[in-house]
Chain A
Amino acid sequence: MADAPAGGGLSIKPMDQFEVLPLFGGTEIRMFTITNVTLWMFLAVLVITLILVLGSRGRAVVPSRAQSIAEMAYGFVYNMVIDVAGKDAGKFFPYIMTLFMFILTANLLGLIPTAFTTTSHIAVTAIMAFAVFITVTVVGIVKNGTDFLSLFWVSSAPLILRPILAVIELISYFVRPVSHSVRLAGAITAGHAVMKVFAGFAAFAAIAPLAIIAMVAIYALEFLVAGIQAYVFAILTCVYLKDALHPHH
């Protein structure tokens, strides 16, 4: 931000929470420096492992709490993959389940006060989005060969419009990883910045009660957004996968 107003006044720094810092001293960040991003991504993986592996280890007929969470998540994602991408997309289910669980857990862990939200960084989401983009493109080309290009040649449109539509389809295809990653990172960043701004308003006695009530409401909204963004990321992956597996319009 520009310069903070000197001598009291309104000084809210909503973007400071997204700063990447090394965990063990120093200020330099190299390729393998352990930062707070590393820590919170590791915690997300740890939580997923605890719920999915240890929680469902008992395989009880009447499930425990952790097991029923694992079963619900599994069933939810599996139905989504089959419904959206078709029966033959079943072998990509583990990939989409991994993405969904990682994003959901990282979002929810980020909602813990003073926690760091790893999914608010485009560096994190762009890796996932480009992985999806490359996977989908490779799958489409391997499975359909040159037939994959019919994704860009809209055969239901009038012939004169098809070259124009092909250009538009091509652009929209290559902008996918950008919108895929920016959507998740942007929604999470925006939500957390708004929470920080309202938390800053609570410092003024006159509007503090209002700010705290608004804070509670926004927190509930962010809880919803955390789930919806993970769902949207997973379902768009399914849509892209469907395009790759069945490129005909």
Chain B
Amino acid sequence: MEGDIAQMGQFIGAGIAGLGAGLAALGVGNVAGNFLAGAMRNHSAAGGQTATIFIGIAFAEALGIFSFLVALLLMFAVT
């Protein structure tokens, strides 16, 4: 298998950037888990916080998507 070293660096970089998506999963799981833990203790307050949890998930998720974007840029946009 042939190829130049720059391309190898590109692919390795894309793989490392992909790790960020997994780390963002930790963040999203943390948000949702803590929400559930709080909601189990106080059911009546949980209903009003639906918007808050979605905002929290969105912010945590966005950073994972940034790393996905970096991976995509390395794979397809960098020449």
Which A residues are within 8 Å of any B CB, using their own CB? 1-2, 15, 80, 83-84, 179, 182-183, 186-187, 189-190, 228, 231-232, 235-236, 239
Contact = CB atoms under 8 A, between A and B. Distances in A.
Contacts of A236: 55, 58
| Chain A interface mostly | helix
Interface of B: 3, 7, 11, 21, 51, 54-55, 57-58, 61-62, 65-66, 68-69, 72, 75-76
B65 A183 contact: yes
B68 A2 contact: no
B68 A190 contact: yes
A100 to B, nearest CB: 13
A232 B54 contact: yes
A235 B54 contact: yes
A183 B76 contact: no
A15 B72 CA distance: 10
B73 to A, nearest CB: 11
B68 A84 contact: no
A189 B72 contact: yes
Contacts of B72: 15, 189
18 contacts: A1-B75, A1-B76, A2-B3, A80-B51, A84-B51, A179-B62, A182-B65, A182-B66, A182-B69, A183-B65, A186-B65, A186-B68, A186-B69, A189-B72, A231-B54, A232-B54, A232-B55, A235-B51
